[in-house]
Structure formats: structure tokens, C-alpha cells
Amino acid sequence: MIQLITEAELTPQQIEFWKKARQAVDMNNLSYAVSLLKALVKQVPGFLEGRKVLRACEIKLNPEPKKKSLFGGMKLTTTKRDPISAISSVEDELENDPFSIPSNEQLYNAAMELNLPDIAAFALETIRQGHPTNKKMLHMLGSHYMTREQSAEAAEVYRDIVKIDPSDSVAVKNEKDCMARATMKQANWENAQSFKDVMKGKDETSSLDKSDKKGLTRAEMEERLALLSGKYAQNQQDLATVRDIAGVYEQMEDWANAQAFYSYAFSLSANDVSLQNKAAEMAETARRVYMDDLKRRAAAEPDNAELQAQLKEAMLQIANQQVDAARQRVEQNPTDPQLRFDLGQALFETGEYTDAIPELQRARNNPYLRTRAMLMLGKCYEAKNMNDMALKQLDEANKELIVMDDTKMEVLYLMGTLNEKLGNKQGALDCFKQIYDSNYGYRDVAKRVESSYS
């Protein structure tokens, strides 16, 4: 029976293969590394670490998920007949299409039949990386973690599903249930022999349990941070501890430390994009707080030339930092449409409209970002004085927006101003009237509409 093995359990010959493969990776000779690693995992199917490095190399060589063929892909070997053969042969399929859903499903099924749940989870995590909005596969991964009593991991998966579809009641319920189970496991309630044991564990982690409660005092947060710091001193590689420390710093509004620990947590994780986004969010919050304070002081002293110059320089510096950070995130995960959108938006803010357009066009292909991306594209085209193309983009977005929310009102308002530029006064008025009928106080639409009747 195949078992999960570590590097220490490899034979001397296999270790030589492994060393050569890692050297090839270090030298960026990825094709050679793939050939070595594929041979190794076929010989040692239970070597998960080697399979992970293999997949990482394949993803670098094939960063974009392959589009489905009109007539479907190759027929995959049935795992029910020969899971041992299947867990090896599937690597041939994954070499050129590492994000392939059917191939990774085959790997998952074969691993489960061979009682290799960690490899099975790895197969589904690969799908999650390449197809982050595929709810079916996310549910499958969440269920896998729940079955294995990996409550914290399951909660993160269901949290991602809720972000994609807040109306998914199953994901909402499972996230809450898994978070509760993870908390119980952390407090060691399941192993308690008596109520006294439960209370003892509760005393040791009381500050940690308060993390989900609002209204913590400064002293309570500092106490909780001290407990976590003790755990961190014992093991600086523990992802859960690092993530919790980041969370406490966030509650304390220490944005710099929160960013540092979320960034470190991301480096410890298997490319957990939610942690990467958290780090970026903390950096953005720190910048916003600083800028708000600077703007207040500049507004209070409009004649202070030094302060006004400081504000202008800070605004430009922050805009450039946002572009650099967005570029770095895209380089790390080039298939994430949200990161493409963020980069396009950042480029727009710095006036780099030409560079922003292709990023926003790629984000437009994602159904969850489509209308916002089209709005930003409209702004880019307008900035380049391509008013007819801007209007066409916005008109398409407007047709897809059903509810009169902030995005739709912004689209309509921009359409109105563009129609005015193009001399279409009636078209502009029609746009403003739609906003007027829904939100009287939006910008200056009331004045624009009512003045047309004078």
C-alpha cells in the first residue's frame, strides 16, 4: 500500500534525483526540473513535497488555466480500476495543464482510494488556485477538510465561497460551524475529562477566545498579544499563531505591525491569497490614516506652502507605491482577475491610462468584476479623449447593471457628462433623469435635471 513519505524516507538514489531537481529549480531550469520531479513522484507517489515542487514548476511554465476544448479533453484513466497506476499517469496530463479540473479530480479520487488525504487535498487546492471562483470545487475542498476534521482550513474555504456568493446558505452555515469547531479544538475541549479541565484550558486561552468579540479594552488586547507572543517565541513557523498576532495588531490599529505579520503569514502559507490581501489592506489602511491626517492639517492651513507641498508629494508617492504593490501581487499570482483590476485601478490613479487598459480588459472577463472593470475602462478612454469608445463601454456596463446602486449611478453620471461633450444634450439629460428618479441628492443631478425645465 502506498504511504505518505518525507524526504528523510527516500532511498539514496531517490535523494540524488531530489537534489538534482532542486538544483534545476534554483537555476530556473524548470523544464529539466519537471522531467526529474515527474519521474520521482511516479516512482514514489507518496512523496507529497516533491509533488508540490513539481506542480509549482509546471504552474510557472503554464501560468494560465487552459481553455476547454470544444470537443473536450483526452479521456482520463478510471481511478476505480487501478488507483496506483492512475496517481502516476495523471502527472502526464498535468504537466502541460497543471490547473486542469478533470486531471486534478482524477488525482483526488486516486489519492482518496489509496488513503492519501493530504495528496487529495493538494489536488483540490491546485484547482482552487487556478479556478478561485469555481464554487463546486471549493465546496468539494471544504467538505474534504470537514471530513478530515481540519476545521480551520475548511472555514477558510467556505469563507472564500461566501465572498463569491454571499447568498450561499450552505457555505455561510459551514463557515460558522467550522470556526466554532476550530475554537473548541484550540481550547482542547474535546480532550477534557471534566468541567474543571475545560475551565483550566479556558483560563489559559481566555484572551485568545475574545478575538471574535467586540469591545475589547486595550489591556485585554495587550494581554492576548502577550500570550500569542509566548507561543510565537516557541515556534515562529506556526501559521495560526502568526495570523492571530496579525489580527490582534489589526484590532489595536497598529497597521504597520499588522501588515508585517499578515505578510509573514502569507509567506508561511501555501500562497493563501486572503492573507496577501489582508497585508495589502493593512498597508492601504496605514496610508489612508496618514493621508487623512495630512489632509486635515493641510485644509486647516491652506496658506502653509510647505504643508501643501508635503501633501502633494505624499499623494504622488502613495499612488506610485500602490502601483508597485499591485504589480508585485500580479507577478505572484498572474491569473487572479481581482489583482489585475487592482493594478489597472492603481495605474489609472497615477495617470498611466495606456498601461491600465490591458489590465482592466483582462479583469473584465471575470463576471464578478466585469461591470466595475468596464466603468474603469470608460474612465481611461475618457482620460485619453476617446469619448466615443468610453461611452460605448459605459453603455454596455449600464445594460448589465440592474439595481440602481453606487456603481450604476456613477456609470450613468459619466455617460451623461460624455454625452454633453459629444453634443448629445438629450442623451445626457436622460442619463441624469434616471439617477434623479432614484437618488435626488446624488452629486448635482437635481440641479441639472430641474434646470432643463426652466
pLDDT of 434: 93
Residue ranges of alpha helices (H) inside 148-272 are 151-164, 169-186, 195-204, 206-209, 218-234, 239-251, 255-268
Q: Which residue has the higher pLDDT, 393 or 310?
A: 393
Report the chain's mean pLDDT, rounded to a whole number.
Answer: 84
Nine-digit cell at 142? Answer: 471544504
For the chain, list the domains and their CATH numbers: 7-131 (1.25.40)
pLDDT of 266: 87
Q: Is the pLDDT of residue 356 over 90?
A: yes
Q: What is the pTM of this model?
A: 0.45
Contacts of 238 (CB under 8 A, 6+ apart): 231, 232
pLDDT of 185: 58
- Determine the Cα–Cα distance for residues 186 and 151; give it in Å rounded to an integer: 11
pLDDT in tens, 249-284: 888 888 888 888 888 888 888 778 888 888 888 887
CA distances from 434 to 399, 446, 448 (A): 13, 11, 12
- Determine the Cα–Cα distance for residues 220 and 88; give it in Å rounded to an integer: 53
Location of C-alpha cell 469591545: 215
Q: Which residue has the higher pLDDT, 206 or 325?
A: 325
In 3D, which of 300, 320, 243 has the Cα closest to residue 276? 243
Please give the helix or strand (H or E) that residue 348 lies within, else none: helix 337-349
Lowest mean per-residue pLDDT among 18-27, 98-107, 311-320, 343-352: 311-320
pLDDT in tens, 94-111: 999 999 999 999 999 999
Nine-digit cell at 189? Answer: 475541549
pLDDT of 354: 94
User: What is the longest distance spanned by two Cα atoms in the chain?
Assistant: 90
5, β-bridge pairs: 47
